[in-house]
């Protein structure tokens, strides 16, 4: 990675786009050492150095735009939560990416993704009218003033056939517990968390504003999210645009329903179940106990804790737009996670994020471990354990 030019305009631009703490960096290198890219071999790992990236940003240097540099960060937060100077590394990465994407030069793999989100309101290029297809054969209420919660289903779980099973399981659980909730459907747009992380600020603003206007018009007061990415952006990014609601991840709500005696699971799976903490549920949102409490109910026993767990959880590599990256076998963080789970004797690796399910399922296949390890969202395990 050889930077080409020093540009004061570039330095000012990225500061304006959110890299407000970039000058706090003292170049200690702890971030680079903690980054999961240090755990895998390959060209991207050799290229990508987050400490160096902070330096380039500080100096306003250009030339960091290739995919294996700036766009390799999965925004897992491991570096940021341990930085001794409190540098908001992810905001810096996002701001630097926006200098490239805002100039109309996103990496080739992101072009159809962003184009699809512009055209259809979601990055999976699913037609709007098909956003509700995952509901087929299920009783899914429509949201209205008589409903307590609005259920916002992640675009991935609206369109991806594997992922729709997660949304369907959540609906079965909410129906069983008699929760007052509803969905809006085709008018919803992507929460745009990943869109902003890849640096398309304009598209993020457009999608977020259309959701804020829609939710306000429908009278939404409380939101249940199926993905921790939607949770995070609704809680941390929408308020500055005027969108403020009470937002919970479904795992938090289900744990509360169990405590209130509205949900119980007579049949445990009796399988050895390990839990993978999603970065955006754990490190970014501080939710560690609710998914474990749920799993203990579904499994009828203690959760098998992986070696790198809770605050030290290993990223699946699906955040920050990396779910759309092509990574060669042998260089995927999620493969390390599969090995972690197998080494602990787990039969099921559970998680609570559609991106994690996607990345871990692919890694399990690439390592040919699908006969010995099942990848499940906890909602699927819970729905299967319902009486």
Q: Return the residue of 10, 17, 56, 83 that touches ligand SF4, per CB under 6 A.
A: 83
Q: Note whether 203 binds ligand SF4 by CB under 6 A.
A: no
Contact 37, 48 (CB under 8 A): yes
Q: Note whether 96 binds ligand SF4 by CB under 6 A.
A: no
Q: How far apart are CA 340 and CA 364, in angstroms?
A: 11
Q: Return the residue of 6, 28, 217, 221 that touches ligand SF4, per CB under 6 A.
A: 28
CB burial of 90-118 (b: ≥16 within 10 Å; e: otherwise) equals bbbbbbbbbbbbeeeebbeebeebbebbe
Minimum distance from residue 270 beta carbon to ligand SF4 (Å): 36
| DSSP reduced 3-state for 152 | strand
User: Which of residues 39 and 217 has its CB atom nearest to ligand SF4 in the complex?
Assistant: 39
Q: Return the residue of 56, 70, 79, 223 that touches ligand SF4, per CB under 6 A.
A: 79
Q: How far apart are CA 161 and CA 163, in angstroms?
A: 5
Contact 231, 153 (CB under 8 A): no
Q: How many Cβ atoms from other residues are within 10 Å of residue 63's Cβ?
A: 14
Give the largest Cα separation in the chain, rounded.
65
Q: Note whether 95 binds ligand SF4 by CB under 6 A.
A: no
Those residues whose C-beta lies under 8 Å from the C-beta of residue 207, and which sit 6 or more positions away, are 117, 121, 189, 190, 191, 192, 195
Minimum distance from residue 58 beta carbon to ligand SF4 (Å): 9
User: Which of residues 52 and 222 has its CB atom nearest to ligand SF4 in the complex?
Assistant: 52
Q: How far apart are CA 89 and CA 6, in angstroms?
A: 20
Q: Which two tokens stand for residue 257?
A: 């329903």
Q: Note whether 190 binds ligand SF4 by CB under 6 A.
A: no
Q: Return the residue of 51, 131, 284, 332 that touches ligand SF4, per CB under 6 A.
A: 51
Q: Note whether 25 binds ligand SF4 by CB under 6 A.
A: yes
Minimum distance from residue 88 beta carbon to ligand SF4 (Å): 9
| DSSP reduced 3-state for 151 | strand
Q: Give the single-character DSSP code of 143.
A: P
Q: Return the residue of 78, 179, 353, 364 that touches ligand SF4, per CB under 6 A.
A: 78
Residue of 172, 154, 290, 141 whose CA lies nearest to 224: 154
State the number of CA atoms in the 13 A half-sphere of 74 facing the CB: 27
Q: Note whether 26 binds ligand SF4 by CB under 6 A.
A: yes
Q: How far apart are CA 200 and CA 105, in angstroms?
A: 11
According to CB under 6 A, which residues from 314 to 343 bind ligand SF4?
315
User: Which of residues 121 and 282 has its CB atom nearest to ligand SF4 in the complex?
Assistant: 282
Q: How far apart are CA 29 and CA 114, in angstroms?
A: 33
Q: Which two tokens stand for residue 148?
A: 């307590």
User: Which of residues 362 and 374 has its CB atom nearest to ligand SF4 in the complex?
Assistant: 362
Q: Note whether 30 binds ligand SF4 by CB under 6 A.
A: yes
User: Which of residues 40 and 384 has its CB atom nearest to ligand SF4 in the complex?
Assistant: 40
Q: Note whether 110 binds ligand SF4 by CB under 6 A.
A: no
* Nearest-10 crossing angle of helices 289-299, 250-259: 60
Q: Note whether 85 binds ligand SF4 by CB under 6 A.
A: yes
Minimum distance from residue 90 beta carbon to ligand SF4 (Å): 6
Contact 322, 128 (CB under 8 A): no
Q: Return the residue of 56, 87, 96, 350 that touches ligand SF4, per CB under 6 A.
A: 87
User: Which of residues 30 and 372 has its CB atom nearest to ligand SF4 in the complex?
Assistant: 30
- How many chain residues are in contact with ligand SF4, going by CB under 6 A? 28
Minimum distance from residue 102 beta carbon to ligand SF4 (Å): 20
List of residues contacting ligand SF4 (CB under 6 A): 25-31, 34-37, 50-51, 54, 73-79, 83-85, 87, 89-90, 315
């Amino acid at each position: 990675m050889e930077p080409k030019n020093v540009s004061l305009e570039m330095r000012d631009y990225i500061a304006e786009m959110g890299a407000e703490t970039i000058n706090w960096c003292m170049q200690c290198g702890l971030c680079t050492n903690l980054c999961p890219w240090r755990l895998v071999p390959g060209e991207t790992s050799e290229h990508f150095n987050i400490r160096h990236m902070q330096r380039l940003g500080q100096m306003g240097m250009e030339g960091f735009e290739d995919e294996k540099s700036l766009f390799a960060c999965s925004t897992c937060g491991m570096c940021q939560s341990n930085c001794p100077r409190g540098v908001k590394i992810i905001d810096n990465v996002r701001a630097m990416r926006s200098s490239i994407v805002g100039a109309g030069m996103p990496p080739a793999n992101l072009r159809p993704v962003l184009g699809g989100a512009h055209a259809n309101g979601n990055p999976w290029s699913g037609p709007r009218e098909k956003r509700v297809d995952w509901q087929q054969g299920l009783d899914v209420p429509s949201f209205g003033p008589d409903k307590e919660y609005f259920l916002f289903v992640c675009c991935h779980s609206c369109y991806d056939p594997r992922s729709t099973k997660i949304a369907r399981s959540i609906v079965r659980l909410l129906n069983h517990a008699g929760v007052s909730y509803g969905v809006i459907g085709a008018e919803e747009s992507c929460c745009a968390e990943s869109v902003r992380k890849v640096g398309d600020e304009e598209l993020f603003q457009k999608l977020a504003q259309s959701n804020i206007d829609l939710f306000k018009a429908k009278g939404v007061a409380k939101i249940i999210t199926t993905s921790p990415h939607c949770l995070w952006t609704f809680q941390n990014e929408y308020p500055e645009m005027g969108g403020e609601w009470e937002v919970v991840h479904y795992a938090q709500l289900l744990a509360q329903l169990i405590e209130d005696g509205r949900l119980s699971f007579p049949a445990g799976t009796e399988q050895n179940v390990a839990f993978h903490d999603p970065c955006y549920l754990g490190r970014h949102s501080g939710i560690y106990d609710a998914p474990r409490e749920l799993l203990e109910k579904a499994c009828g026993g203690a959760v098998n804790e992986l070696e790198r767990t809770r605050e030290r959880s290993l990223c699946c590599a699906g955040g920050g737009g990396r779910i759309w990256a092509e990574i060669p076998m042998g260089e995927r963080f999620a493969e390390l996670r599969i090995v972690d789970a197998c080494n602990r004797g787990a039969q099921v690796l559970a998680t609570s994020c559609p991106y994690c399910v996607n990345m871990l399922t692919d890694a399990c296949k690439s390592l040919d471990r699908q006969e010995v390890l099942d990848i499940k969202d906890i909602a699927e395990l819970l729905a299967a354990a319902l009486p």
